[in-house]
């Protein structure tokens, strides 16, 4: 607890310089453009609509056949443009040899990261993969169950972006512990959202303003918005800061 108190106190003098995000909104990235079942026409339609809505970052599902993955990746980069940020998510579909091969090929499209390339328990596989595909970054965390496993990942130096999910870690306290570890190791936190951006929109603000973690962006998946009393609001590609008390998780 002393270390946590010290970390928070260290950030106080510069905190005002980060408060502006409360008014500008926290940037989001759109996952809903790239589900694996979407064909090329659907991806193009959804990316163009998302661009019109102000998004500049997009995530695409991969993990099928090599040719299909490369075709989808090529299409996304062409539609989104060279200035857009894109990421690829394999959802643990590859073994290490397959990941080594396909990640290298996907690197030609300059993704910010490749997410969950292989089994989340296999820390050494991620370490080997990261070393061989560098400087291409790996992202992971949605299926990492606790702070101890996150700590082991961080100590290997193989993770470029950490993706804890408070709804899968046992709550907010464990999430914040992982965020503090990430701050110590200098790794950005970009939470896995699934359908719970409701809670994580608050946590990224705390991470940035109070802990001094860098402002990156937050995944946007709006499929369950209509079930909440105060659904997350995203305009111009940015999460608007909630004005109601609580964690924005009250259900209708």
Higher pLDDT, 9 or 127: 127
- Minimal CA–CA distance to 139: which of 67, 208, 73, 86? 86
**Alpha helix positions (H), 134-196:** 147-156, 172-185
Is position 61 annotated as part of the catalytic site?
yes
pTM for this structure? 0.95
Q: What per-residue confidence (pLDDT) applies to 43?
A: 97
CA distance 143 to 192: 9
User: Percentage of the chain surpassing pLDDT 70?
Assistant: 99
Q: Can you say whether the dihedral through the CA atoms of 88, 91, 93, 97 is positive or negative?
A: positive
CA distance 150 to 182: 9
Catalytic residue among 46, 61, 200, 220: 61
State mean pLDDT over 172-181.
95
Q: Model confidence at 87, in pLDDT bands (50, 70, 90)?
A: very high
Catalytic residue among 46, 59, 126, 192: 192
The per-residue pLDDT of the chain, averaged, comes to 95
Is domain 20-239 given the CATH code 3.40.350.10 in the classification? no
Is position 192 annotated as part of the catalytic site?
yes
Q: Is residue 3 predicted with pLDDT exceeding 90?
A: no
CA distance 208 to 182: 12
């Amino acid at each position: 607890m002393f270390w946590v108190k010290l970390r928070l106190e260290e950030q106080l003098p510069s905190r005002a310089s980060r408060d502006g995000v409360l008014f500008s909104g926290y940037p989001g990235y759109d996952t809903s453009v790239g589900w694996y079942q979407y064909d090329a026409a659907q991806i193009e339609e959804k990316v163009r609509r998302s661009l019109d809505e102000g998004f500049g970052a997009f995530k695409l599902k991969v993990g099928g056949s090599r040719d299909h993955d490369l075709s989808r990746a090529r299409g996304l980069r062409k539609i989104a443009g060279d200035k857009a940020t894109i990421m690829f998510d394999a959802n643990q579909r590859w073994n290490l040899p397959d990941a080594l091969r396909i990640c290298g090929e996907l690197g030609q499209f300059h993704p910010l990261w490749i997410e969950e390339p292989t089994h989340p328990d296999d820390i050494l596989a991620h370490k080997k993969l990261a070393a061989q595909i560098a400087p291409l970054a790996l992202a992971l965390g949605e299926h990492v169950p606790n702070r101890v496993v996150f700590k082991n990942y961080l100590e290997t130096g193989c993770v470029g972006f950490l993706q804890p999910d408070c709804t899968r870690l046992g709550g907010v306290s464990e999430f914040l512990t992982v965020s503090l570890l990430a701050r110590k190791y200098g790794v950005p936190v970009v939470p896995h959202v699934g359908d719970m951006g409701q809670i994580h929109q608050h946590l990224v603000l705390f991470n940035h303003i109070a802990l001094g973690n860098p402002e990156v962006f937050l995944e946007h998946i709006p499929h369950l918005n209509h079930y909440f009393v105060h659904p997350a609001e995203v305009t111009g590609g940015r999460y608007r800061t909630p004005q109601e008390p609580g964690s924005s998780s009250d259900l209708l």
